[in-house]
Structure 1
Amino acid sequence: MKLITDAGSSKSEWMLVKEDGSKIMTELRGLNPVLHSEEFISETVVNGLKPAIQFQEVKEIFYYGAGCTAGENAGRMQASLKNIFQNAAIYVESDLLAAARALFFNNAGIACILGTGSNSGFFDGKILHKTIPSLGYLLGDEGSGASIGMRFIKDLLYRKAPELLAEEFLSEFSVNRENIIPYIYSLKQQNVFFAKVGGFLTKHHHDSYVEELIMKCFREFIEIQVYPYFEIWKNRQAGFVGSIAFFNKEILQKAADQFGLDIVMILQKPTERLVEYHCKF
């Protein structure tokens, strides 16, 4: 049996593929070895997957996750999984490689993530080439849910956001202009909160203010994280993974057209395509 996982900081999907081709999908909370201890990771996986999955029967695990670029963090994640799945061969890769394989299989293109955070890299069909650093939500993550949400909060506090939209947000999130700043600083995962704000705005993406805000964020993402790959690899085909890209695809397409970017696919989640990839290749 194979276990294929796509894990972000907000949530993770675990797809078990049995010998007869049948599948079992389980959704757990997000996991990130940069943010979470090995103990936390182990408890989350064990408590979340049993009794649906018999750990000793899993033979291969393909784990793709946020914070799992090669190095110490990927090693920590692999060690955490090995303690649970002792009979399995375990492969830990980045969420960006998951996006690349899901979008292109063994073809070339620019793989992009627009979800809680953002990321990009050029995939040549085998190897993922990443030359633009990921700076996280405080310094980077252009075009992500966190970036969009953070910009809205600033507009809210500067009273630049439409009042009706501002009032709906304050009511839905049970905050006000006086307590929202201390509330944000009290949170352990501020990026997740900002991403939820980005999700709130996505529901209003036909509003002219929201459309303009999201368009600015998408243009910034393409200019900083995508356009440089045009010049290096002379390839304008790109694919996107993530809820922010998926539910704002019309705005994203408009932004892409301004840069001459050819979007070949937009996926909300990569898991199903990853299962297909690992069954074919």
Structure 2
Amino acid sequence: MATGIDPRALLDHWSIEITAKDTDDLVRAAPLIPPGTKIPVTFLPNETFEARVSAAATVRRLGFIPIPHLSARRIHSREELEGFLSALQREAAIDHAFVVAGDPPEPMGPFADALALIQSDLLAAHGVTRVGISGYPEGHPEIGSDKLWDAGRDKRLALQERGHDFAIVTQFAFDAGPVLKWIAHQRAEGIQALIRVGVPGPASVKTLLRFAARCGVGASAKVMSRYGLSMTRLLGNAGPDRLIEDLAAGLDPAIHGDVRLHFYPFGGIENTAAWIRNYRKKLA
């Protein structure tokens, strides 16, 4: 029987991701974000390495912890990765990174997946001590569950062999049930790393459905109704109040371990940070 936790505890030490183009929004949002907050910087195909480095440097300058994404299949060579990591270390003093395979069906260089990048041994060589990897409570739209599990296991083992601490950041969800079940399964398999549950920031149902379709996230009418959105009101907005409350109600620290939140700011960084602050005040 789950004991539940105070929802306010879930809102301690949250993280929020940005793209390289979001630095102006981040600067505006900075007063709303606690110092030392972890801020991943994504690796989108239409952004340059220089822009990604500049964004990570801005994160550091504002008093937060930059976590650059490394999209393995989008990196053209070992030398390109070395140059990127060197620039990140020089300009943003990174010690965190988040490693993903990336979207291209075929690699653009020598790294076929996140595991290959981890096995390059370039992370530690450039000061990275803590690595984030992905988790998929509702599965992956293009990868079977057995293959997904094997890939996660191989990445964890490779990181442990190299002395890296690691954390798991999940795909966002609208329904707490599958997330809680997935976390419990990870713990039952002996995985004790920090798990950050992906939470969508406040946005319109139209925006949320667009991202859900792109990422293979369950968004049935029933699920969205529980989340607080009507499928017939595409311009209606909602925050993740109910999702956070359901997560808090279902979490048992003895079963689920160390769980925190990671926000995907689909409605904007400043809007998401303001929502978090206001929601905390409402709970006080």
TM-score (ref. length: structure 2): 0.33
TM-score if structure 1 supplies the norm length?
0.33
Bigger Rg, which one: 1
